[in-house]
A and B are shown apart, each in its own frame.
Chain A
């Protein structure tokens, strides 16, 4: 509004060939506003990605070093990738990542969609229920981790409670079990994020054209068919957003593992992010830590970029 009312004379001035200082400032304003955040991102995101790649080829230990060693750190990781009995920490980390990634993303999307469809049935107190499901997202991973740690601990939580209630044969010690502990991380993660995915799907469902659904019902389609053949295909962009958000949450979930399991018995709950932190900061093997970070970046790029490409390319048609 301000521009329109106070600058009635602007078009006339623009017409003259020499722009005034004010006009030039106005042209530059967006650039000036964006410049600080742009330069900060350039240095602190992309600059440090390059720096990490560089470090992974040096023999950095406790401190960054400039002595190049070639792909030695990668060779070590490569060897550790196939070392499965007893598993190396790296092997444990990447297999855990696969288990956690698939189950976490899969269950969050399924559960989120399911809850959204249920909530979309014009029920009473929808706003209240939606808040309840969405609320876990407001908690940090640390809080989620600690709460679930207590809940799943056989000496404190669920098992103990049921024993007190008289069901003494009940047994659930996954969080203390090296082979099962990663699934408890999935449980806590799904608990936290599925409400958020539900909200995304609910917003998507509200955008579906009601006329189309009515037409389908008149043609005799069952509710299941309506959802399966019409609504869910329409929600495709929401699946994309949910997948992208969940995938990056999965790959960066470090705090959940630490708070929930403190790394698990024998390091059995590690994810690559835990591996990276441990090797870089605790074990003074910065080169190997950097190499693992680069591999994580490559992995997520390999998954996300083709998906983004295939999804976004269809738009112009």
Chain B
């Protein structure tokens, strides 16, 4: 065979294999039946350790675990990857997902039906109704909630608190007085990361504190226009502006965990953040009560503004159904709920899990969730995308971000912009 003949043969072979590769992926997607494929973005140390609890429990039942991790805090990268996988018909067994995304996939008919399992396991009673809003679609269970995070927490450095002689603030004015004390002592009073969602968590809490739970629900869950334009909302924006005076000038673009580090090191007194901040304190070997303190945001005790991680269950073939059922059942079992959430820093998604083994902040979180759930003061945080669909959430983030950074100058204007942006996005 001459050289150029070899060349031609080689090219033909290459072209053929390129063609074949296109069809080959379908075969490769065929999955093991005793294995769950799980897409998630829990890649940091504490998160991975928490996930291992579920992994180990499944391994005991003889199910393998195939990780499909996609790094990136808020899960945007993971959601993009998932979209591509689902569009190609290559479903994972389950995927970590946040509220409205579950409903999007359920609406598109991509999710499984777990209703039978839910009935036999009694999920209807154990899991609070606001969570079921996102795990049940059209009467069918399509996802399982793994945990409940709540955003109306404040985290304080105990040493700084002792130094300035502070006590637990009960009202918003108490809070301002406490921040003033810190300012006089030369400590940054409020550690904040200047990303839109962090500012929005602060504003969520201010609205909840200023207007109370009924107002919050009406404005940020029902998107009632009168409430959005009300004087209470204006007052909330004014209160947010007051808090800005206690933030160091260098806050813009800072990550949330760097803000937590400021509190851990004692450079700042307090951070307003969801309870995932507790993981950072634990990582730094700090204990609640002795090194740091956790209170509900002043004026919001008794209410819980939540976000929750869900495992959305995809409509996989019959051969993979067993593994999926085992995953769902295991995730919701009381042992795993306790084990997982002790490490993750969140609170179990079922209200009937014992608080044994949780630290002081975790115990308070569980008790608060039970009480708030019974009183009807348990509702989705708009800042975390559980109050309204993503388009509305982002419109809200825009307005808060622009107000906090001075592009929207008065609370009057902020209220007008907020109502308009939300109306636009609905």
Q: Please name all residues of chain B whose beta carbon is closer than 8 Å to the beta carbon of A154 when the two chains form the complex.
A: 249-250
- Of chain B, the residue at the smallest CB distance from A2 is B3
On chain B, the residues within 8 Å of A2 by CB distance are 2-4
B11 at interface by CB-CB < 8 Å: yes
Instruction: Identify A282's interface contact among B2, B3, B76, B104, CB under 8 A.
Output: B76
Complex Cα distance, B108 from A63, in Å, reads: 8
| Structural contact, B391 and A61, CB atoms closer than 8 A | yes
The one of B4, B15, B394, B401 that contacts A6, using a Cβ cutoff of 8 Å:
B4
- B76 — which chain A residues lie within 8 A by C-beta? 281-282
- A206 within 8 Å of B (CB atoms): no
Q: Are A281 and B4 in contact (CB under 8 A)?
A: no
Q: Which residues of B contact A282 (CB under 8 A)?
A: 76, 390, 394
Q: Does B406 contact A (CB under 8 A)?
A: yes
With A176-B250, A262-B195, A267-B401 in contact, is A29–B11 under 8 Å at CB?
Answer: yes
Q: Which residues of B contact A253 (CB under 8 A)?
A: none
Is chain B's binding surface mostly helix, strand, loop or mixed?
A: helix
A interface residue count range (under 10 / 10 to 19 / 20 to 34 / 35 or more) = 35 or more
Shortest A156–chain B CB gap in Å is: 9
Whether B249 and A32, one on each chain, are in contact in the complex, defined by CB atoms closer than 8 angstroms, is no
Contacts of B30 in A (CB 8 A): none
Q: B133 at the A/B interface (Cβ < 8 Å)?
A: no
* Cα distance A266–B390 in the bound complex, in angstroms: 18
Complex Cα–Cα for A36 and B12 (A)? 11
| A178 interface neighbour in B12, B394, B406, Cβ under 8 Å | B406
Asked whether B253 lies within 8 Å of A87 as measured between CB atoms, the reply is no
CB within 8 Å of B: which A2-23 residues: 2-3, 6-7, 22
Q: How far is the CA of A281 from the CA of B425 in the complex (A)?
A: 15
Contact of B390 (CB < 8 Å), options: A7, A87, A262, A283: A283
Question: Which residues of chain A are near B404, meaning CB under 8 Å?
Answer: 266
Residue contact A176 to B2, C-beta cutoff 8 Å: no
When chains A and B are docked, how far (Å) is the Cα of A25 from the Cα of B5? 9
Interface residues as binary, B379-407 with A (CB distance below 8 Å gives 1, 0 otherwise): 00000000001110010001001101111
- CB of B144, distance to nearest CB on chain A (Å): 21
Q: Do A283 and B391 have beta carbons less than 8 Å apart?
A: yes
The B285-324 residues at the A interface (CB cut-off 8 A) are: none
Cα of A82 to Cα of B320 in the assembled complex, Å: 53
Q: Check A86/B407 contact, CB under 8 A, given A2-B4, A265-B252.
A: yes
The answer to whether A56 has its CB under 8 Å from any CB of chain B is no
Contact in complex: B4, A3 (CB < 8 Å): yes
Contact code string B68-80 (vs A, CB < 8 Å = 1, else 0) = 0000000010011
Given contacts A154-B249, A154-B250, A284-B389, contact A266 B18 (CB under 8 A): no
Chain A residues with Cβ below 8 Å from B108 are 63
Min distance, Cβ B100 to any Cβ of chain A, angstroms:
8
Sort chain B's interface into a size bin. 35 or more
B413 sits at the interface (CB 8 A): yes
Whether the Cβ atoms of A62 and B250 lie closer than 8 Å is no
Knowing A267-B196, A268-B405 are in contact, say whether A32-B15 is a contact too (CB < 8 A): yes
A25 touches B8 (CB 8 A): yes
* Interface status of B83 (Cβ within 8 A of chain A): yes
Contact B401 A266 (CB under 8 A): yes
Q: A26 and B398 in contact (CB under 8 A), knowing A32-B15, A87-B407? A: no
Q: How far is the CA of A150 from the CA of B402 in the complex (A)?
A: 24
The reply to whether B79 and A35 form a contact with Cβ atoms under 8 Å apart is no
Whether the Cβ atoms of A6 and B405 lie closer than 8 Å is: no
Which B residues are CB-close (under 8 A) to A89? Answer: 398
- Judged by a CB distance under 8 angstroms, whether B417 is at the interface is yes
A194 CB–B CB distance under 8 Å: no
Q: Does A285 contact B (CB under 8 A)?
A: yes
Which chain A residues lie closer than 8 Å to B145 at the CB level?
none
Is the beta-carbon distance between B5 and A22 smaller than 8 angstroms?
A: yes
Contact of A284 among B11, B250, B253, B391 (CB under 8 A): B391
Residue A58 interfacial (CB < 8 Å): no
B31 contacts partner chain A, Cβ-Cβ < 8 Å: no
Would B249 and A278 count as touching, CB distance under 8 A? no
Please indicate the chain B residues that have their CB under 8 angstroms from the CB of A149 in the complex. 253
B164 interface residue per 8 A CB criterion: no
B391 lies within 8 A of A285 (CB): yes
A176 to B194, CA, bound (A): 10
Question: Which chain B residues numbered 95 to 126 have a C-beta less than 8 Å away from chain A?
Answer: 101, 104, 108
Can you offer 23 A-B residue contacts whose CB atoms are under 8 A?
A7-B4, A26-B4, A29-B11, A32-B12, A62-B101, A62-B104, A63-B83, A86-B402, A149-B253, A154-B249, A261-B253, A264-B252, A265-B252, A265-B253, A266-B401, A266-B405, A266-B406, A281-B76, A281-B80, A282-B390, A283-B425, A284-B390, A285-B425
Q: Write the residues of chain B forming the contact surface with A, with a CB cutoff of 8 angstroms.
A: 2-5, 7-8, 11-12, 15, 18, 76, 79-80, 83, 101, 104, 108, 194-196, 249-250, 252-253, 389-391, 394, 398, 401-402, 404-408, 413, 417, 425
Chain A residues within CB distance 8 Å of chain B: 2-3, 6-7, 22, 25-26, 29, 32-33, 35-36, 61-63, 86-87, 89, 149, 153-155, 173, 175-176, 178, 261-268, 278, 281-285
14 A-B pairs besides A173-B250, A178-B405 with CB distance below 8 A are A2-B2, A62-B390, A87-B407, A175-B252, A176-B249, A178-B406, A262-B195, A266-B404, A267-B196, A268-B407, A278-B394, A283-B391, A283-B394, A285-B391
